[in-house]
Structure 1
Amino acid sequence: MLLLALVAIASSRLLVAPTSQAEEFRRHVVVSQEEHASDVGRDVLRQGGNAIDAAVATAFALAVTHPAAGNLGGGGFIVAFLADRGEVVTFDFRERAPLASTERMYLDDEGKFLPRHRAGLRAGGVPGTVKGLGLAHERFGTLPWADLVLPAVALARDGFPVSNTLARSLNSQLFDDDGASDALDGSGRGARLADFPASVRAFRKPDGTPWQAGDILRQPDLADTLSRIAEHGPDEFYGGRTAELIVAAMQAEGGLISREDLESYRAVQRPPVHATFRGYDVYGMGPPSSGGIVVLLALNILERYDLAADGPESAETLHRITEAMRRAFFVRATRIADPDFIDVPADVLTSQSFADDLAASIGPKATPSQDLADFPIAGLAEGSDTTHLSVVDGSGNAVALTYTLEQGYGSKAVVAGTGFLLNNEMGDFNLVPGVTSASGLIGTPPNRIAPGKRMLSSMSPTIVLEDGRVRLVTGSPGGRTIPNTVLWVVLNVLEFGRSPREAVDALRTHHAWFPDVITLEGRRWPEETTRELRDRGHRLRSTELQGDAHTIIVDPVTGLLHGVNDRRRHTSRASGD
């Protein structure tokens, strides 16, 4: 069934009524943003596939049914627990800067930022999704590759009924508010699908009218692309007919990705980052994702405090969590980038001694963020349309997979003839070198553009083990809010002892070093808490919703799998047995 996202805040403590429980499963479960994709993953598990197989199939299905973030033209990360080996492995399939890119490609001759370059094919990094899914399957999958891709082929060719959410999303990209077709008009609004003819062909309803819930969305070009990938394997995307179509589109539209970029792209198996919290083993993705280090560093700082004694909504707890977030994000900005280009001492940054040094500077008052930096702060955030899926299979294997196009619908540009959208991940580099501002623009050296470099990410797929068995699998979209969303889910389970449904539904907060402000999800936090936070020197603002953390929580006593879809968005679903 579809579970509706929250429209209004139900209480000061929870985003939804606490009586609604997570779905319980005994054998296996997949939780993702979209119901058809979750069902594809469940069916793979029923056929005897393992968690890797199910994650790969679900990801390909999301490329069809969740076009705002599910993708072939983007990239991401996998954190997987292999129960029979007792090992956590991770896969990096983050996009890379094209070889023709330059550090100042987003600036004009006078050094002024050019936001128009954040849309269209010029905005894209070399896609990694197909290679990444292929590498994970090659190393640890069990079912034939084609069996994992063909369900997505069927969804693209035969179509599926669009939800209310997808109908509204597509219409906002293709039409004016009055339903009239729209084109780029120079008015300064952000780019949309309507601005790119290939995107209109891919996503416009055949009769040209706005989409309605229940209409069938068919994507024949995408079906053909997926069919080639199913038949010829992942390398087809990078060296076959699909690669030819990508290069032709780049040459026609002024994009930078070349045949050499595609043929030289590699996904990488990297070591996970790891720390312990309250005796649990917490594993995350290492660089070029910053998310794992940020989450683990914050947990290392917070372990010295008894947060549960003060409660999750007390000013003392929020102050401590905020100061941990502030310091972790400062480290993110100054120490973390693509490890193939920058030396990132992950073991040091996730050590307790490193956290001790940072925690020593936390006092009863808010630390001004500028005080952490030894460089000037002047007086383009990451996109929020990533997607995450979690899988646990009947053998105790688990996968946390997060991937993205960057902003919703990525570059907004479909690669002509392929049916898939290209990412706009080049915007995740530090685009204005040397300028870090109080508004949140980061210009520190590690994450500046370089040919072949992977841009820094906040994606935070996370697995928690208890005594060598899965306790928690989680992750989220949300740009820079991602690590803090994951941090809250982990704390809600391991520190505050909330039920599975409460752990995901509970209100969240965010601080990212700059801007120097606490973002509070919802608008009904205790007045005493917000007043005390202001008295301590914190600046506060509100946001309606933060993150979309599709989570699996395993009961350590009964072994039940609690598939907890995050109801902040409309079409998420847990599917299993």
Structure 2
Amino acid sequence: MKLFFKLLLLIPINIESSFFNSKAIVHPEIGANGMVVSQHYLATEAGHSILAAGGNAYDASIAVAFALAVVLPRAGNIGGGGFMVMFDGKTNETLSIDYRETAPALATKDMFLQQDGSVDRKRATQGILSIGVPGTVYGMWEVHKRFGSMAWSELLNPAIKLAKDGFVVSPFMADALNKRYQKLSQYKNFHRIFYPNYPIKMDQLLKQPELAKTLEIIAANGAKGFYEGEIAEKIDKHMSENGGLITKKDLKNYRPIWREVVKGNYDDYEIVTMGPPSSGGIHIIQMLNILEKHDLVSLGHNSSTYAALLTEVMKYAYADRSKYLGDPDFFDVPVETLISKAYATEISKRIKLNVITASDKILPGAAMQNESLDTTHFSVADKHGNVISNTYTLNSGYGSGIIINDTGILMNNEMDDFVSAPGVPNQFGLVGDEANKIEPFKRPLSSMTPTLILQDGRPIYATGSPGGSRIITTVLQFLINTLDFKMEISDATVAPRIHHQWKPDILMLETGFDIHHANDIEALGQKIYFSGPGTSLESIEIKNNLYYGFGDTRRPDSKAMGH
């Protein structure tokens, strides 16, 4: 035994590895030919199986998306919508697709207002009227038509098997369902499928035969299997019988939109992210443009000065979000101004280190001449150079709570992401204005921020997160942690995060943030409170011709799997 310890002392403890950063505290997974990272290990395995079968990153992403609809019903979906940002290895193009939900034709701007002019929060966030026209199935179908290499039906097989044969409920899922029992058990179909026995116990088997049948129809018929025919008839019938607004015509007329990505530069990195109706991409670039003027490393990671600076920058971005962001097909979003270096310079002149500005003193566009925690994100990369960053959602956890009769389809509550009344916060505390008012066929504003980082024209990071209003600031801090502080993606992910969204004027500090620094920030005049984890980065780094992936441990079912 003494000899063993003598030999142990001879081993250098700081030896550099060609695979891993020896200074990292937490290490990512590694793959030679690709990587899949998602918020549920079974969905990650579904995507990995597609890569192993010879599919590309697009194929794997579709498999992950449909598998998450089965195993992560709080956010994974076919009854919701989202955004995908892509780097195509064949053409070296960056692209994005908007498959966000739309307001039904019968929607009106005052549909959630009561007689006294106040917003009926329950009607906006729960039940039949809160549902927007889903986009996920059509979004995945469009990606497959353009880039898929395997048969569509093969990509849905993992999800169908999980729905038909069932899967073991994780402790995390059991806890999430039990916490929402009072809210969701009132819905007959939800109660029947998810609460046959209450409380839910971990390790019980959950089968969803109705959802399996729906997925089989979609597998056989593509997008038409959802937006026309038997399933569309059932959605239309359920809506008409229960006072809903979505019709067969709404479903048949739905189309995703291929949109230009939003790009910015940060030092020698290119930021490629989602444009409106996502607000995330614009404000990521806006905030990085401001922060670029500071030596963040010299301030010290998560020091009080550093955190106070980020707080001020976040306030300006979210103030602008409240006024200038909406569906670009309905509102002229001043994208070029918001992401310009000149605008960032004007804002920078108003920010001083260790000085806190009250939110009431920051007006939207002053320098110009609460989406749910249960969104979900996945990232996928393959050996052909294709890289995918995808965020999609039902909005609140388990969406509206409405499951369409005989289909197993859990529907979103995205109508609350519109502004029900100017200046009135939504369920996540986010304030909006006319740019995001309810209008038929319009897409609600979102904080979802699927993002790629390129260097010398090649992708080096793919990232994104759930977390409602916290998504944007979460992605921002991941980028600073990796690009400025050179952290391994795992350490960049687990580091405590902060969040400020302009109103309310409160700085959220994640549990684990240094209490001494917190006290210093409070002494500057900024109200603070500590919050639990509400986000979950699912990220990939590509370096040394290898793929590194890390699933955020804030959501214990997350998993990265290298190929």
Please report the TM-score for the alignment, with normalisation by the length of structure 2.
0.92
Structure 2: stretches of 5+ with no match in the other structure: 1-22
Contact 1:202–1:414 (8 Å) recurs in 2? no
- CA-to-aligned-CA distance 1:128-169 (integer Å, 9 cap, x gap): 110111111111121111111121111111111111111222
Contact 1:69–1:410 (8 Å) recurs in 2? yes
- CA-to-aligned-CA distance 1:386-421 (integer Å, 9 cap, x gap): 000000111121000000000000001111111011
1:307 to 281, 288, 296: 296
**Could you say which residue in structure 2 is the equivalent of 1:368?**
358
Moved more, 78-87 or 515-524: 515-524
Q: Measure, in 2, the Cα distance between the counterparts of 1:488 and 1:263.
A: 40
Q: Does residue 82 of structure 1 match 2:73?
A: no
1:329 to 314, 318, 323: 318
- CA-to-aligned-CA distance 1:144-200 (integer Å, 9 cap, x gap): 1111112111111111111111122233344xxxxxxx6xxxxxxxx31x1111112
Contact 1:278–1:494 (8 Å) recurs in 2? no
SS of corresponding position for 1:195 = coil
Q: Does residue 320 of structure 1 match 2:309?
A: yes
Q: Measure, in 1, the Cα distance between the counterparts of 2:441 and 2:507.
A: 35
**Could you say which residue in structure 1 is the equivalent of 2:14?**
none
1:153 to 147, 160, 165: 160
Contact 1:338–1:453 (8 Å) recurs in 2? yes
Question: How do 1:395-434 residues align onto structure 2 when only pairs under 5 Å count?
Answer: 395-434=384-423
**Could you say which residue in structure 2 is the equivalent of 1:14?**
none
Cα offset, 1:436, TM superposition: 6.4
SS of corresponding position for 1:243 = helix
SS of corresponding position for 2:161 = helix
Q: Measure, in 2, the Cα distance between the counterparts of 1:56 and 1:576.
A: 17
**Could you say which residue in structure 2 is the equivalent of 1:45?**
51
Contact 2:277–2:445 (8 Å) recurs in 1? yes
Alignment-mate amino acid for residue 320 of structure 2: V
2:193 to 179, 202, 219: 202
Alignment-mate amino acid for residue 533 of structure 1: I
Contact 1:28–1:576 (8 Å) recurs in 2? yes
Q: Measure, in 1, the Cα distance between the counterparts of 2:46 and 2:385.
A: 19
Contact 1:28–1:393 (8 Å) recurs in 2? yes
**Could you say which residue in structure 2 is the equivalent of 1:178?**
none
Cα offset, 1:539, TM superposition: 1.6
Cα offset, 1:209, TM superposition: 5.0
Aligned residues: 535
Alignment-mate amino acid for residue 141 of structure 1: G
Cα offset, 1:433, TM superposition: 2.6
Q: Does residue 295 of structure 1 match 2:302?
A: no
Question: How do 1:497-576 residues align onto structure 2 when only pairs under 5 Å count?
Answer: 497-527=486-516, 529-555=517-543, 558-576=544-562
Q: Measure, in 2, the Cα distance between the counterparts of 1:101 and 1:431.
A: 11
Cα offset, 1:524, TM superposition: 4.3
Contact 1:157–1:223 (8 Å) recurs in 2? yes
Contact 2:496–2:513 (8 Å) recurs in 1? no
Q: Measure, in 1, the Cα distance between the counterparts of 2:201 and 2:122.
A: 31
Question: How do 1:455-494 residues align onto structure 2 when only pairs under 5 Å count?
Answer: 455-494=444-483
Cα offset, 1:526, TM superposition: 4.6
Aligned CA distance change for structure 1 residues 59 and 283 (closer, same or farther; 3 Å): same
SS of corresponding position for 2:541 = strand
Question: How do 1:53-202 residues align onto structure 2 when only pairs under 5 Å count?
Answer: 53-117=59-123, 118-174=125-181, 191-192=183-184, 194-202=185-193
Cα offset, 1:487, TM superposition: 0.5
- CA-to-aligned-CA distance 1:97-144 (integer Å, 9 cap, x gap): 111111111111111221221211211000011011111111112111
Cα offset, 1:466, TM superposition: 1.2
Q: Measure, in 2, the Cα distance between the counterparts of 1:211 and 1:114.
A: 31
Moved more, 129-138 or 313-322: 313-322
Percent identity reads 40
SS of corresponding position for 1:201 = helix
Alignment-mate amino acid for residue 455 of structure 2: E
SS of corresponding position for 1:80 = strand
Q: Measure, in 1, the Cα distance between the counterparts of 2:111 and 2:156.
A: 36
**Could you say which residue in structure 1 is the equivalent of 2:435?**
446
Alignment-mate amino acid for residue 35 of structure 1: Y
Contact 1:436–1:444 (8 Å) recurs in 2? no
**Could you say which residue in structure 2 is the equivalent of 1:28?**
34
- CA-to-aligned-CA distance 1:264-315 (integer Å, 9 cap, x gap): 1110000000101120111110000001011111111100100011111222
- CA-to-aligned-CA distance 1:203-252 (integer Å, 9 cap, x gap): 234xx354322221110100010000000011221111110110111011
SS of corresponding position for 1:319 = helix
- CA-to-aligned-CA distance 1:326-354 (integer Å, 9 cap, x gap): 11111111111000000113222212112
**Could you say which residue in structure 2 is the equivalent of 1:5?**
none
Q: Measure, in 2, the Cα distance between the counterparts of 1:441 and 1:170.
A: 26
Alignment-mate amino acid for residue 229 of structure 1: I
1:241 to 219, 230, 240: 230
Q: Measure, in 1, the Cα distance between the counterparts of 2:432 and 2:515.
A: 36
**Could you say which residue in structure 1 is the equivalent of 2:274?**
285
**Could you say which residue in structure 2 is the equivalent of 1:348?**
337
Structure 1: stretches of 5+ with no match in the other structure: 1-16, 175-181, 183-190, 376-380
Q: Measure, in 1, the Cα distance between the counterparts of 2:44 and 2:542.
A: 18
Q: Measure, in 2, the Cα distance between the counterparts of 1:82 and 1:367.
A: 43
Contact 1:102–1:451 (8 Å) recurs in 2? yes
- CA-to-aligned-CA distance 1:253-273 (integer Å, 9 cap, x gap): 111111111111110000000
